[in-house]
Amino acid sequence: MRHAIWTDFRGVLTPPLRDGLLAYCAGKEFTPGQLGTCLRAIAERHGCPDGMAVLDSGVLTEREWAAEIEQQLSGRFGVDADLSRVGDEWWSDRRIDEEWLSALRTWRDAGVFVGMISNLPPDWKDHFAAFAPWDGLFDEVLLSCDLGTRKPEPAMFRLAESRSGLPPEANVLVDDLHDNVAGARRAGWTGVLGGGAATRAAVEHIDSLVRSGAPQQGVRTDAPQQGVRTDAPQPLVRTGALHQGAAR
């Protein structure tokens, strides 16, 4: 059986969210914990599953979202913060998980379908496009801001299946968020928890899966969130032509 490997962006190709928050909050008037509290409050106010969903679902623009965070920081913690450059500052952290990137390249060079699914706010699309030269790395790039659906909604997984041309059981999502992994499993996919220290286990599980050709729904790679290096998997036998994809 052929497989389609779909990777998340933030937290899997990049450092885990916890590390990203630490980097963003360094030198700021507020702590990652305070910011997290504000994001949860904003999510609850707007009926969204998390603070980022408010932004990447288009409920708020970046400026509106930042203004609400400023209000929350002031009201809850007495912190007078300026988040007018939150997008530029967040995206200035350009670290990438080279181990995971190497594995994706190895699988794709061997003929495996490799795609990305990212919950991306509309205001951050330009940041994403400039982050790395995505052309030639992915067969498909699915961004929530382009599609009107996001992980873990079923519509996102059905759309991804149409792009890979493979049945649910042949598609694999690697994500750092448990809710997205669970959503993939409900859709009939293999869900793998990855990112940070889970990268090594994710590479080993997926390499085994691709080599065996057998669907393995419900694979988990729970591990503490911190990057660990390992040798890249050996090239696999090429299985066919690839569809050229590009970040849109």
What confidence tier does 211 reach under pLDDT thresholds 50, 70, 90?
confident
Among 25-34, 54-63, 80-89, 219-228, the least confident range: 219-228
Euclidean distance between CA atoms 213 and 207, whole angstroms: 10
Question: Mean pLDDT, the chain, as a whole number?
Answer: 86
Residue 188 C-beta-side C-alpha neighbours within 13 Å: 11
Euclidean distance between CA atoms 98 and 233, whole angstroms: 13
Mean pLDDT of 60-77: 97
115-171 pLDDT, tens digit per residue, is: 999 999 999 999 999 999 888 899 999 999 999 999 999 999 999 999 999 999 999
167-187 pLDDT, tens digit per residue, is: 999 999 999 999 999 999 999
